[in-house]
Structures are given as structure tokens and as C-alpha cells.
Amino acid sequence: MISDLNSRGESSGEVPTNGHGPAGDPAASNAIAVEHIVKKYGDFTAVDGVSFNVKEEEIFGLLGPNGAGKSTLIRMMTTLIPVTAGSARIAGHDVQNDPDAVRRAIGVIPQALTSDLDLTIEENLNIYAKLYDVPAKKRKAAIDELLELVDLTKWRSAQTKTLSGGMRRRLEIARGLVHSPRIFFLDEPTTGLDPVSRVAVWEMLTNIKSHRQLTILITTHYMDEADRLCDRIAIVDHGKLVALDTPAALKASVPGSNVIEAQFDNVPAGWEDRLKKMSEVTSVQHEGAGMYRVLTGDGSRTTTELVEAAVHSGVKIRSLSVQNTTLDDVFVHYTGRQLRDELVKAHAFVMPPRPGLQP
Ligand SMILES: Nc1ncnc2c1ncn2[C@@H]1O[C@H](COP(=O)(O)OP(=O)(O)OP(=O)(O)O)[C@@H](O)[C@H]1O
Ligand SMILES: [Mg+2]
């Protein structure tokens, strides 16, 4: 299913979507068409021959660890940096031949927060509306509607520097939509936010999607975010596309349908090999501190065997959980590494300090 992605750009069989949009409709036209795109910085290849299509009104996720090339892909698609080779067509316009037409069709939320801290929420939105030539008569109505959509109406006169990270993100999302773009690019909109604010941003994006005809391309390194929001997900690693499909199809493509996470005390030598030999087990990862992640086609049968083996060998089970396969397992399956590890190794993005009080 996933083979040859970087040359062809799509999985071979189109699979049903999870119901969020028309991703499975072969008649739907492409809002974004990227072909064999490459970005080199000197000798270093940041994006290495990536191809994919995004259909009108689809929510498409680029998922990958730090340094995978997600922002570089977005920067090329949004005309911010030149393409080294290959092409990208956005709303039918080529990014290299017709960048102005591309810019008129898109809204972009960059990874770093960029609203003016000394202005109020409303002033920030007004400036963008003027920059994008939104007619004066329509400006107030457009801003009122957006403030409602992102749930910031009552803070419209608050200075931006007094807002929490989550509120600033919501302001920036409203700002990116002020000229009613057809295609919306969001680069890691929830990185650095607390879990409650992250969920608020997800709900807001879903809400916006239900009110507007919008194609959304979002980058993230959060598996749960990609799973919950996206119609289809492209997994990017070291500048290459390693998998592309609906979240459900990606999970179904991993051998094994359940994951057992178990933590043991006093494991004997060869314990990992014993786990690997149990019925239906397709892979075992030792995550340190006695914690093992076991992929299996039959969660209950493997659990029984595992408990029996532990009792027999005098191994204490500190914790044990059985779940369905997640996108974490998909990432491990296609890259051989854990996304979590990659993120811990990399330098974490930290939300800028927030002077003043929260309103
Ligand atoms: N201007 C540049 N000059 C040289 N190398 C660059 C430049 N911009 C990005 N890179 C490199 O290209 C690779 C991809 O970077 P990119 O910012 O696209 O990754 P990312 O997937 O967005 O990661 P993150 O999750 O950290 O935002 C990284 O190795 C990065 O160091
Ligand atoms: Mg990035």
C-alpha cells in the first residue's frame, strides 16, 4: 500500500475516509498537488522528492518528528522559500510561476507566533483585513464572525500580550482566515499548548471547517491530533514521505491489532525474546525501566500467556494495559523508531513568555 510513495505520491488503493470530508470522492478536484518536490540547503536535502495531493475540503495532516521537513514543505507550498526541484500547485496555481495567485488563495499560520503584542485582538485582525484589501464595509462583519468562531468575542479589546498561548493561537487562526482563503496552512498550531488549550484549538478548527468551505493542511507531531482531526495523514521522516492514508487505514496496515503495554520488575535474561515468541505477537519494543510495548493480533490471548509466563518466572507485573493499535505504532512500523524518542531528543519549542496578566 505504502510502497513507492515518494515517486507516485498516493497510496495505490483509495480507501474510504473517516467521514470528515470528500477524500474518497474520485471526482473531487485537488486543492494542493505536490510532485517530486525537493528542497536543498547546500549539500543537505531537507525535503527529498515528496509527492501528494490534497482534495478540496479535505483536512490533510503532515505528521513527523522535529526536523522531518514539515515546515520546509509548508514554506515551499506557501511561496515563502523557492523550490529546488519538482513542483507544487496550490488552488491550481504553480508556486513558482504564479506566486501572487497562490498567496491570494491561501491563509497561513506559521509555527512561531507572530501577532503584534502591543495591539488588541481586534486591532491585529483589522490590520490583516486591511493588508488583504478586505473592503471596509465587510471588515467589521468578517471580524465579528471570526471572533465568534474562535471564541474570542469577549476579549476583542484585550491587548495581545495579556493573552494565554492558546488564546494567541486562536487569534492567529482567526487572522489567517480574515480574507476568506480557500486553503488554510497551519504549522504545528498546538505545539507548546497545554492539553486543555490543544483540545480547544481542535474543536475550533472542526467548528471552522463546518462553517466554511475550506481545505486544511496541518502539520503536527502529535499522533492523537492527527488521528482526531485529519481525513488523511502523510507521515514524513528525514524529508521523505513514508506513508500516506486515512488514519484508520494506516492503523490497519500495521501487523497486529492490539498493543499491550506492560511494566515488569526483575525480568530475567531473554525476557524480550520470550515475549516475541508468544502467539500472535508481531513485535516487541523495550522502552526502558521494565516497560515493554507488545504488538499482537490477539490481545486477550497474548495477555493470558504473558501473565502465565510472569507467574512462572517470578516476574512481578507492575502495570498492564491492552489497547487498539495507535498511530504511534504506525510511525514505528514505517520508520523503525518511536516518534516520542525523536521528540525528546530534539529541542522542544517553548511558547514565548507572556508579560502582563491574563484577561
Ligand atoms: N534555512 C535552513 N538552512 C539550513 N537547513 C535548514 C534550514 N531550514 C531548515 N533546515 C533543516 O531542514 C530540516 C527540516 O527542517 P524543518 O524545519 O522543515 O523540520 P520540521 O519537520 O518542521 O521540524 P519541527 O517539528 O522541529 O518544526 C532540518 O534538519 C533543519 O535543520
Ligand atoms: Mg516545523
Residue 290: CATH number of its domain = 3.30.70.100
Quick one: pLDDT band at residue 20, thresholds 50, 70, 90? very low
Shared domain for 27 and 68, answered yes or no, is yes
Q: Please give the tally of structural domains in the chain.
A: 2
Quick check: 192 and 350 in contact, CB under 8 A? yes
Question: CA 126 to CA 103: how far, in whole Å?
Answer: 19
Q: Does residue 44 fall inside a structural domain? A: yes
φ/ψ of residue 324, rounded to 5: -75, 160
CA of 112 to the centre of ligand 2 (A): 9
Q: Is 39 in contact with 196 (CB distance < 8 Å)?
A: no
Residue 152 sits in the same domain as residue 296 = no
Give the pLDDT mean for 21-41. Answer: 75
> Residue holding cell 494567541?
168
Ligand nearest to the CA of 70: 1
Arithmetic mean of pLDDT, 201-216:
88
| Same domain assignment for residues 100 and 226 | yes
- Ion ligand 2: residues, CB within 5 A, are 70-71, 111
Q: DSSP of 245-257, one letter per residue?
A: E-HHHHHHTSS-S
321: β partners: 261
Domain membership flag for residue 108: yes
Which residue, judged by its Cα, is nearest atom 19 of ligand 1?
Answer: 67
Pocket of ligand 1 (CB under 6 A): 41, 44, 46, 64, 66-72, 111, 221
Same domain? For 194 and 266 the reply is no
pLDDT attached to residue 193: 84
Same domain assignment for residues 106 and 137: yes
pLDDT single digits (tens) 94-139: 999 999 999 999 999 988 888 899 999 999 999 999 999 999 889 9
CB 126 within 8 Å of CB 206? no
Same domain (yes/no): 23, 120:
yes
Looking at the fold, whether 320 and 205 belong to one and the same domain comes out as no
Output the pLDDT for position 326.
84
Please name the residue whose Cα sits nearest to atom 5 of ligand 1.
41
- As a whole number, the mean pLDDT across the chain is 85
Residues 6+ apart with CB under 8 A from 356: 159, 161, 162
Q: How confident is the model at residue 343 (pLDDT cuts 50, 70, 90)?
A: low
Residues 197 and 265 in one domain: no
* Residue 357 belongs to some domain of the structure: no
Mutate to test the pocket of ligand 1, among 39, 41, 77 (most ligand atoms within 8 A of CB): 41
Read off the CATH number of the domain in which 240 is found.
3.40.50.300
Flag whether 347 is in a domain: no
The per-residue b/e assignment along 318-357, b for 16 or more CB within 10 angstroms, e otherwise, is eeeebeebbbbbbbbbbbeebbeebeeeeeeeebeeeeee
Residue 356 lies in a domain: no
Same structural domain, 177 and 51: yes
Say whether both 35 and 147 belong to one domain: yes
Domain extent, residue 291, equals 255-324
Evaluate whether residue 241 is within a structural domain: yes
Cell of 9: 505520491
Q: Using the mean position of ligand 2's atoms as its centre, give its distance from the Cα of residue 258 in Å.
A: 31
- What lies within 8 Å, CB to CB, of 106 at 6+ separation is 78, 90, 91, 181, 182, 183, 184, 185
Residue nearest ligand 1's atom 28 by CA: 67
Instruction: Examine residue 340 and state whether it is found in any structural domain, yes or no.
Output: no
The reply to whether 222 and 294 lie within a common domain is no
Domain assignment present for residue 194? The answer is yes
Answer with the one of 251, 280, 311 that is the final residue of a domain: 251
Q: Do residues 203 and 302 both lie within one domain?
A: no
Q: Which ligand is nearest to the CA of 66?
A: 1
| Mean pLDDT value across residues 53-63 | 95
* Final residue before a domain boundary, out of 197, 220, 251: 251
**pLDDT value of position 324:** 86
Predicted pLDDT of residue 330: 87
Span from the CA of 238 to the centroid of ligand 1 (angstroms): 10
